[in-house]
Amino acid sequence: MDKILKNLRLSKRVDGDRKVVTVKNCKIGGGFVVIAGPCSIESEDQLCETADAVKKSGADILRGGVFKPRTSPYDFQGLGLVGLKILKKAAEQTGLPVITEVTDPRNVEWASEYVDILQVGARNMSNFPLLKEMGKTKKPILIKRGMNSTISEWLNSAEYVLNEGNPDVILCERGIRTFEPLTRNTMDLSGIAVAKRLTNLPVIADPSHATGIRDLVEIMSLASVAVGADGLMIEVHRNPEEAKSDKDQTLTCGQFDTLIKKARTLRKLVEGFYEDL
């Protein structure tokens, strides 16, 4: 681990410090936050209904993708600007801060006007021009770990954003590609623990993309809480079977309600186990 530390200038944890990223009245780091919402924004109706439900269950932040990085060019690519307008409306209606992924450096500046947090997706974790552009904004940046990236590479991506003068970075473990085909990715729980030891940045977990399987999302969320994750990102849809992307890993609003209650209960227990979370 010493080798990684040499490259960490701005995110390195010194004397047990912990960074807190604040959006609206939500604090990320040093507590437990839950980000929830659909993989993709499909319509105003779909997002607002899902947003109301996750808010009622106690979600802190609303998610929704509008620039979708899809494996096939023939799959739904996202609503772009129309989707951003819907996301902004849902933010106003619910009062929740909102997050979306931006995939192209040319879209960072104007898209950031619509959201509270910008997401760097797994496929773009090593897109250095994108990271630099994100570093020039005043919005917090959530960096997903690339599916083919080491922990060290992930932390260096955070340094890219920090080095441009943006101090608000959140890390997100979302599973890596291994030889195991039964799950969509392999969730690297130790990656969460390592990132929290080496850096002062908040580290959250995304068991939806890490597993790709609805039935595994709750248990891997609880496992993430147990290793000290500062929060969760969960895909939720009012009707997962109708979701235009990632339906197999998407929870119903009812399943999310159960998950968030269990996660918060476990978090309280874990806070009693480890002083230094």
Residue numbers at the binding site for Mn ion (CB under 5 A): 39, 246
Which CB atom, from 11 or from 185, has the smaller least distance to Mn ion?
185
Task: Provide the minimum distance between the beta carbon of 38 and ligand PEP in the complex, in angstroms, as a whole number.
Answer: 9
- Can you tell me the distance from the alpha carbon of 192 to that of 195, in angstroms, rounded to the nearest whole number? 5
Residue 144 contact partner, candidates Mn ion, ligand PEP, none, CB within 5 to 8 A by sort of partner: ligand PEP
- Does position 55 interact with ligand PEP (CB under 6 A)? The reply is no
User: How many CB atoms within 10 Å of residue 170?
Assistant: 27
Point out which span in 29-37, 120-128, 248-256, 263-271 binds ligand PEP (CB under 6 A). Answer: 120-128
Task: Provide the minimum distance between the beta carbon of 185 and ligand PEP in the complex, in angstroms, as a whole number.
Answer: 9
Q: Which of 55, 209, 237, 238 binds ligand PEP (CB under 6 A)?
A: 209
Point out which span in 3-11, 86-94, 115-123, 192-200 binds ligand PEP (CB under 6 A). Answer: 115-123
Residue 121 contact partner, candidates Mn ion, ligand PEP, none, CB within 5 to 8 A by sort of partner: ligand PEP
Q: 3-class secondary structure for the chain?
A: CHHHHHHCCCCECCCCCCCCEEECCEEECCCCEEEEECCECCCHHHHHHHHHHHHHHCCCEEECECCCCCCCCCCCCCCCHHHHHHHHHHHHHHCCCEEEECCCHHHHHHHCCCCCEEEECHHHCCCHHHHHHHHCCCCCEEEECCCCCCHHHHHHHHHHHHHCCCCCEEEEECCECCCCCCCCCECCHHHHHHHHHHECCCEEECHHHHHCCHHHHHHHHHHHHHCCCCEEEEEECCCHHHCCCCHHHCECHHHHHHHHHHHHHHHHHHHHHCCCC
- Can you tell me the distance from the alpha carbon of 222 to that of 260, in angstroms, rounded to the nearest whole number? 9
Which CB atom, from 147 or from 275, has the smaller least distance to ligand PEP?
147
Which CB atom, from 42 or from 101, has the smaller least distance to ligand PEP?
101
Task: Provide the minimum distance between the beta carbon of 211 and ligand PEP in the complex, in angstroms, as a whole number.
Answer: 12
The strand pair at 21-23 and 26-28 is best described as antiparallel
Which CB atom, from 155 or from 187, has the smaller least distance to Mn ion?
187
Q: Which of residues 225-264 bind ligand PEP (CB under 6 A)?
A: none
Q: Which of 55, 139, 144, 184 binds ligand PEP (CB under 6 A)?
A: 144
Task: Provide the minimum distance between the beta carbon of 90 and Mn ion in the complex, in angstroms, as a whole number.
Answer: 17
Two structure tokens written together for 273? 């186990």
- Does position 187 interact with ligand PEP (CB under 6 A)? The reply is no
- Does position 38 interact with ligand PEP (CB under 6 A)? The reply is no
Q: Which of 21, 39, 117, 201 binds ligand PEP (CB under 6 A)?
A: 39
- Can you tell me the distance from the alpha carbon of 110 to that of 108, in angstroms, rounded to the nearest whole number? 6
Task: Provide the minimum distance between the beta carbon of 17 and Mn ion in the complex, in angstroms, as a whole number.
Answer: 32
Residue 64 contact partner, candidates Mn ion, ligand PEP, none, CB within 5 to 8 A by sort of partner: none
Site residues (CB under 6 A) for ligand PEP? 39, 65, 69, 101, 121-123, 144, 174, 209
